[in-house]
Amino acid sequence: MSCLFGRAALRGLLCPPRALVPNLLVRPSSGGPSWNQERTLVAVKPDGVHRRLVGDVIQRFERRGFKLVGMKMLQVPKSVLAEHYHDLQKKPFYPALISYMSSGPVVAMVWEGPNVVCTSRAMIGHTDSAEAAPGTIRGDFSVHISRNVIHASDSVDGAQREIQLWFQSNELVDWADEGHRSSLYPA
Ligand code: IDP
Ligand code: MG
């Protein structure tokens, strides 16, 4: 990828206006906040696991105020990766991408919170490590696009598709944190 923002990367960095975010992942709550409680898939890739970066990633998402509702370590089957990256099938780097993503364990997580899809893309940074801003996960920990440490879904629809692909519904935990929410955002 050149030094200019690629279209996919740019799309991943720009947040849609809040009013346009579809409400697909909102969980019903008992008179709770009207914020979009989205969910997104975040995965620490094999390079991130090898480099002991899992804890740092979790800490960043927790400190931001997001809620962990699913987590597992797995060696991702190539069939899952093929579906996950089906948009990239014709790219020259696709075979290397699948080989790399299946080369070691990945830590997959589902995070929940207001606008978590868009915010997590900002937190992980630009796809190309050379373009990723310092302070972002990729900008702090990676130097090459093919070893960029972390995945995060790039749209609400994509997040829903990816969560269903990577997790069984009984692997996701709805746990109450109402007492904590009021210190994160207003009701
Ligand atoms: P994203 O991970 O920021 O959403 P995508 O365009 O969806 O970026 O690409 C998926 C993954 O494919 C990237 O995170 C990166 O690991 C790899 N990738 C993308 N573009 C290139 C490239 O030009 N060379 C090598 N690997 C790439
Ligand atoms: Mg992507």
Q: Under a CB-based contact definition with an 8 Å cutoff, are residues 1 and 145 in contact? A: yes
**How many Å lie between the centroid of ligand 1 and the Cα of residue 84?**
12
30: pLDDT strictly greater than 80: no
% of the chain exceeding 70 in pLDDT: 81
For residues 83 and 161, what is the distance between their CA atoms, to the nearest angstrom? Answer: 10
180 is catalytic: no
Q: What integer pLDDT is reported at residue 34 of this predicted model?
A: 54
Give the model confidence (pLDDT) of 150-163 as tens digits.
Answer: 999 999 999 999 99
Name the 3-class secondary structure at 24: coil
Helices assigned H by DSSP within 1-143: 7-13, 46-50, 54-64, 78-84, 94-101, 116-124, 137-141
Residue of 138, 75, 82 lying closest to 106 (CA atoms):
75
Q: Could you list which residues have their CB under 5 Å from ion ligand 2?
A: 154
- Is 13 close to ligand 1, i.e. is its CB under 6 Å away? no
- Is 93 close to ligand 1, i.e. is its CB under 6 Å away? yes
Predicted TM-score (pTM) of this structure:
0.87
Q: Which of 86, 144, 151, 180 is catalytic?
A: 151
Q: Whose CA is nearest to atom 3 of ligand 1?
A: 127
For range 80-98, the mean pLDDT: 98
Residue of 115, 156, 155, 150 lying closest to 136 (CA atoms):
150
**How many Å lie between the centroid of ligand 2 and the Cα of residue 109?**
16
Please report, in range form, the residues annotated as the binding site for ATP. Answer: 45, 93, 121, 127, 138, 148
Q: What integer pLDDT is reported at residue 13 of this predicted model?
A: 54
Positive/negative CA dihedral, 110, 9, 136, 186: negative
Give the model confidence (pLDDT) of 109-144 as tens digits.
Answer: 999 999 999 999 999 999 999 999 999 999 999 999
CA 153 vs CA 3, 44, 122, 144, 187: distances in Å: 22, 12, 11, 20, 27
Amino acid at 49: V
For range 42-69, the mean pLDDT: 98
Crossing angle for the helix pair 156-166 and 116-124, nearest 10 degrees?
80
% of the chain exceeding 90 in pLDDT: 74
Question: Which range, 3-17, 58-72, 173-187, is most confident?
Answer: 58-72
H or E, element range at 67: strand 67-74
